[in-house]
Structure 1
Amino acid sequence: MHFQWYPGHMTKARRMMQENIKLIDLVIELVDARIPLSSRNPDIDELGRQKSRLILLNKADLAENKWNDAWIEYFKDKGYLAVKVNSKKGGGIKNIQSVIQEACKEKIERDRKRGILNRPVRAMVVGIPNVGKSTFINTLAGKACAKTGNKPGVTKGKQWIRLNKGVELLDTPGILWPKFEDQQVGMKLAFIGSIKDEILNTEELAAEFLKLMQQHYPGIIAGKYNIEETGDVYEVLNRIAESRHCIVRGNELDVEKAAALLMDDFRSGRLGELTLEYPDRI
């Protein structure tokens, strides 16, 4: 199964980010806490060179907390300021303003020495599609000022949002990168919904997901769907279809529906707190 998705608007978005980077002081990069490395766009490091950096492990409630903490330390060791948040429920959001000030303290001090007081920090919010940028901005601002959706590609253009006298945010569209060197990265992005489901084979995707679950979280699938797990992941998919009454005409099992249901259960956290990559194995 080959993973790639780079529609035309992403090229335009990258160009727009390059043009606007000179206007900003801080790059706030959202990653998905379940796959913190695979959900980082390698282009962001190039774009954000010489800018203050803040990495937010978003959807931290969907990942195992011990691994969230391990990833925070991993990014700090690399020289980034990093915190975990849950934009949907507001977890960790109230501390973000002070974290932004902390990330930009050198810039604020430089301004102060030059006699520039109360100039707002201008931050660009970046990340791959469907990582929760707009939800983060809306929760931080306390109002619906950025479009949100559970499909990749909802934000198509830039928009400035003034949080208060001290902070202005530039919301940007989610961008992937033109070619995944490692197809495992593409696969994990497909798991979390950052690649359009319409261009994927759902059964194959679910089968790959089940292989990962058997490796890292044996027993979770059996417990959730009240089935017996076997080594054959396609047989497991059949059993999920049977357990969840996914039936088509003629009383046949609707395996594609079961596969979509499995992926939705993972993405929404109904399978529990799951982390799919680990800093000690890099």
Structure 2
Amino acid sequence: MSIQWFPGHMHKARLEMQAGLPKVDVVIEVLDARIPYSSENPMLAELRGDKPCLKVLAKSDLADDAMTATWQAYFEQTVGVRAQAVTSEDVPTIMKLKHIAARMVPHREGKTIDAMIVGIPNVGKSTIINYLAGRKIAKTGNTPAITKQQQRVHIGDSVTLVDTPGVLWPNVHNVDSGYRLALIGSIKETAIDYADIGFFAARYMAAHYPERLSERFDLPSIPATDLELIEAIGRKRGCLGKGNLVDIDRASRILVLELRSGGLGRFTLETPEMMEREKARTVADVAAKAEASQANDAKRKKRFRDQQRAKRKSREMN
């Protein structure tokens, strides 16, 4: 399944972000600690250039601790990038973010610092903003795309946040990234297929966290296929329909919602090494699709020219 969700307000937000970036001193990019790579917006990397960037690994209380530390070290290999893990319960660490951002632009010491805060939908950006501001400025919730327009928020210590709506990108070329985004709730429900995402989740958890599945769903052993695993979960949770058959959609929803809520413990869905492999694969896939598209265009043009020549010849003969 190809997962794409780019409503009109996201296109508008992208244009506003592009116009506003040259005017800010530092970018604060909020990522989901469970999918640090897939929750990075590739459009932002292109737009911000070499502007300092603080990558905030939000919801780190739902992610694997060791992998979060690995991702922090990975991100900080890039010049001008800092990384900080936060949770919604650790307010003191959230409050430190503005001081970390300020230290990233020492030439602005003693002056007001403008920091643009960005992030994909449902990553926890609004919660962070409200803590930094000390009051409810941004709407929060478990539904993606609550923030619809840009706003400026003064958070004290001479720091102003430029808040932007959660923005995805028009084409999620990496199929696995699309699944991960849907799995953590960054894609609107009407744009996803729970069964398909459930199969993806089943495959990953069976390969990397089988003991979590066994314990949570009281499974004596992990079935050999993703379908069999979803069926086993469905039988344990009473998702039975006519003929005692498992309702795959209901069982898949249970697995996905358990993952989102932390019912299956802390987990991380990707590693830096995995990211590098997928980036290389995605570049090759995109190039192959572009080549195939060009070949199809050439065939259509040739067919059109042949038809035109045939018409001219027919007119000349008449």
Q: Same fold judged by TM-score > 0.5?
A: yes
**Match among 189, 206, 209 for residue 214 of structure 1:** 206
- Structure 1 runs, 4 residues or longer, greater than 6 Å off: none
Q: TM-score if structure 2 supplies the norm length?
A: 0.81
Q: 1:266 aligns to what?
A: 259
Q: 1:184 aligns to what?
A: 176
CA distance in 1, matches of 2:50, 2:228: 51
CA distance in 1, matches of 2:137, 2:244: 47
Residues 88 and 135, structure 1, Cα contact 8 Å, conserved in 2? no
RMSD (Å), alpha carbons: 1.7
Residues 240 and 258, structure 1, Cα contact 8 Å, conserved in 2? yes
Q: Which amino acid aligns with 1:209?
A: A
Residues 31 and 40, structure 1, Cα contact 8 Å, conserved in 2? yes
Q: Which amino acid aligns with 1:55?
A: K
Residue 135 of structure 1 pairs with residue 127 of structure 2? yes
Q: 1:83 aligns to what?
A: 84
Q: 1:235 aligns to what?
A: 228
Q: Which amino acid aligns with 2:101?
A: I
CA distance in 1, matches of 2:18, 2:95: 30
CA distance in 2, matches of 1:165, 1:214: 47
Residues 39 and 128, structure 1, Cα contact 8 Å, conserved in 2? yes
Q: 1:30 aligns to what?
A: 30
Q: TM-score if structure 1 supplies the norm length?
A: 0.91
Give the helix-richer structure, 1 or 2: 2
**Matched residue SS, 1:29:** strand
Residue 95 of structure 1 pairs with residue 96 of structure 2? yes
Q: Which amino acid aligns with 1:52?
A: P
Residue 255 of structure 1 pairs with residue 243 of structure 2? no
- Point out where structure 2 has 5 or more consecutive residues left out of the alignment: 277-318
Question: Cα deviation per residue 1:98-146 (whole Å; 9 max; x = unaligned)?
Answer: 21221222332xxxxxxxx4x3211111011111111111122222110
**Matched residue SS, 1:18:** helix
CA distance in 2, matches of 1:51, 1:107: 13
Q: Radius of gyration: which is bigger?
A: 2
Aligned residues: 273
Q: Which structure has the higher relative contact order (CA within 8 Å, separation 6+)?
A: 1
Q: Percent identity?
A: 39
**Matched residue SS, 2:153:** strand
Instruction: Out of 229-238 and 55-64, give the one that drifted further.
Output: 229-238
Residues 4 and 191, structure 2, Cα contact 8 Å, conserved in 1? no
Q: 2:315 aligns to what?
A: none
Q: 1:203 aligns to what?
A: 195
Residues 58 and 86, structure 2, Cα contact 8 Å, conserved in 1? yes
